[in-house]
Amino acid sequence: MQEQVKIAAIGSDDTVLLFNAVGIKTYVLESPAAAERVIFELANQRCLIIYVSEDLYLEIPETLEKYKSAYPIIIPIPTEEKSQGVGLKKIRENIEKAIGFDIF
């Protein structure tokens, strides 16, 4: 991880493979602990956006809480299996917080 990474993707092989195609640095990881460690290191290098596969995303609530500030933005992405709607749920929560009621 020598060069400056601005956008990164973390997840299983199949999930993050495509990100390689657009030049996004990818990390193929299976365990949440490892994901937490990588996010920590990326954050320390001022990485701005980190895509994380949904299954890992659900396992690392503490890390998500830690990086609630502006950057890095941690975005869940669906895996090769069916989407669990994690991202949508998050958006819904945020909107509810912002405007006071559920518009979905």
**Residue closer to other proteins (CB basis): 22 or 44:** 44
- Report in angstroms how near the CB of residue 82 gets to other proteins at its nearest: 26
What gap in Å lies between CA 87 and CA 84, rounded to an integer? 8
**Residue closer to other proteins (CB basis): 45 or 78:** 45
- Report in angstroms how near the CB of residue 43 gets to other proteins at its nearest: 9
| Beta-bridge partner residues of 53 | 77
**Residue closer to other proteins (CB basis): 65 or 102:** 65
**Residue closer to other proteins (CB basis): 59 or 78:** 59
| Beta-bridge partner residues of 7 | 49
- Report in angstroms how near the CB of residue 11 gets to other proteins at its nearest: 14
Chain centroid to CA 78: how far?
10
- Report in angstroms how near the CB of residue 68 gets to other proteins at its nearest: 8
The contact set with other proteins (CB under 8 A) reads: 29-31, 33-34, 36-37, 40, 62, 65-66
- Going from the C-alpha of 18 to that of each of 7, 23, 99, the distances in angstroms are 14, 9, 36
- Find the DSSP H helices in 22-74: 32-44, 54-57, 61-66
